[in-house]
Amino acid sequence: MTTERPLRVAVVGAGPAGTYASDILTKSDIDVSIDIIERLPAPFGLVRYGVAPDHPRIKQIIVALANVLGRGDIRLLANVNIGTDLTLDDLREHYDAVIFATGSFEDADLNIPGIELDGSYGAADFVSWFDGHPDVPRTWPLEAKEIAIFGVGNVALDVARILAKHPKDLASTEIPANVMEILETSPVTDVHVFGRRGPAQVKFSPLELRELGHVPDVDIVVYPETDYEFDEASMEVAETNKQQKQVVKTLTDYALREPGTASRRIHLHFMQSPHEVLGEDGKVTGVRVERTEFNGDGTVKGSGEFIDYPVQAVYRAVGYYGTPIDGLPFNDAKGTINNEGGRVMDADGNQVHGMYTTGWIKRGPVGLIGHTKSDAQETIANIVEDADALYENSSAGAEQRSPDNVMHLLKERGVDVIEWNDWEVLDAHERALGEADGRERLKIVPRDEMIDIALKRDA
């Protein structure tokens, strides 16, 4: 179809999902003009605000994302919030298609008694705090000597490691100064990580699990006499799945170690399911878990045997959950935007014209970067297939769809838009602060300060 202008596309979210989708769309057969709209003053999403600061290798993903965003053919509009700065109607007016790549950054619920007690936290909130997210409080109550974590994925490992690690061993990372100060006051001695099933079913990545054993002055404790169980299905997974085989080997190595003498310990418990958070005077005093037993197919059931552990804080790391967007159909059970192959669908199964989704908000908070790329490819293929309909059903012409129009609107509303060149100013500032302190960067935390630096305003 011959058109007088490029297809105008807004991508909401500047994390991996949104960036990959934008990159793939620029390489398609249709002429496009893309804006990536990001609510935070900085791009990169969970890679910047969801990866532990002592994992610099994972943060190298930022280099690949920056290469895409810095090319010049995709415009970044950061510090713009959908719902307030721009409404869904605004997006429909200024763009032919909108791809929602807003991710999942809230904690999934864990519905057990006592989960609401003082001292019970979501792992995602804690990660946002220690990663210097601009929209979370600057402080965190680290007062517990003994801590429980429910969940056996990489987020649980990150939380356990940051809680147990001595602050001096984080000093070379980009961990914010306010976080370091509070970590230095932590009295923690023991962190207990609980999983419902056995070693063959945990979701730790082999690399992260191996790295856990190299944290200075922190012992990893596994209980082979009580927790280390396999049924036939578990044995098959441990022998045939390459990743799980490595995980089981590492856990076995930990189980065979002689008791250590470190000042802090991370205990890995298996076959124990969270049953209740215990409390007194409204505060966490312990956790009660139920020992589980295998059904024979890798699943477990409760045994009726309960164990109490004294702890003063609890973190639930049982998954992330997406945030609904006003005006879009949402699946509350999955925490995702209703969609088929990335096309947003209403409650009656009809496609919502011009609305698409990709990443965790499309499929749920599972999978790694490779899955995010596959998601994006599927979504973009459907946009390309729908391109003629997107043009034909457009209620606006070339002038209204001009890239200048949305910028004029944002300026009229007093929104401090941060474009890529502005981010580069903030990025250089953080790197300079880090270099002066012997680190790669020192992350700026307050939102207002981030904006002022990026836009070169005098303090």
Q: Where in the chain is the domain with CATH 3.40.50.720?
A: 7-105+323-418
What span, in angstroms and rounded, lies between the C-alpha atoms of 80 and 224?
51
- In which band, very low, low, confident or very high, does the pLDDT at 397 lie, cut at 50, 70 and 90? low
Contact 6, 94 (CB under 8 A): no
* pLDDT for the residue 25: 98
Residue whose token pair is 């900085």: 42
DSSP 309: E
Taking only the tens place, the pLDDT of each residue in 179-220 is 999 999 999 999 999 999 999 999 999 999 999 999 999 999
pLDDT higher than threshold 60 for residue 459: no
Contact 357, 54 (CB under 8 A): no
What span, in angstroms and rounded, lies between the C-alpha atoms of 126 and 315?
9
Taking only the tens place, the pLDDT of each residue in 301-322 is 999 999 999 999 999 999 989 9
* pLDDT for the residue 400: 65
Q: Report the pLDDT averaged over residues 257-261.
A: 91
* pLDDT for the residue 399: 62
Q: Where in the chain is the domain with CATH 3.50.50.60?
A: 109-318
CATH topology of domain 7-105+323-418: Rossmann fold (3.40.50)
Looking at every residue in the chain, the average pLDDT score rounds to: 93
pTM for the structure as a whole: 0.93
Residue 34's DSSP bridge partners are 9, 74
- In which band, very low, low, confident or very high, does the pLDDT at 261 lie, cut at 50, 70 and 90? very high
What span, in angstroms and rounded, lies between the C-alpha atoms of 244 and 234?
10
* pLDDT for the residue 5: 84
CATH of region 109-318: 3.50.50.60
Q: What is the arrangement of strands in the sheet containing 74-78, beginning at the earlier edge strand?
A: 74-78, 32-38, 7-12, 97-100, 351-357, 343-345, 339-340
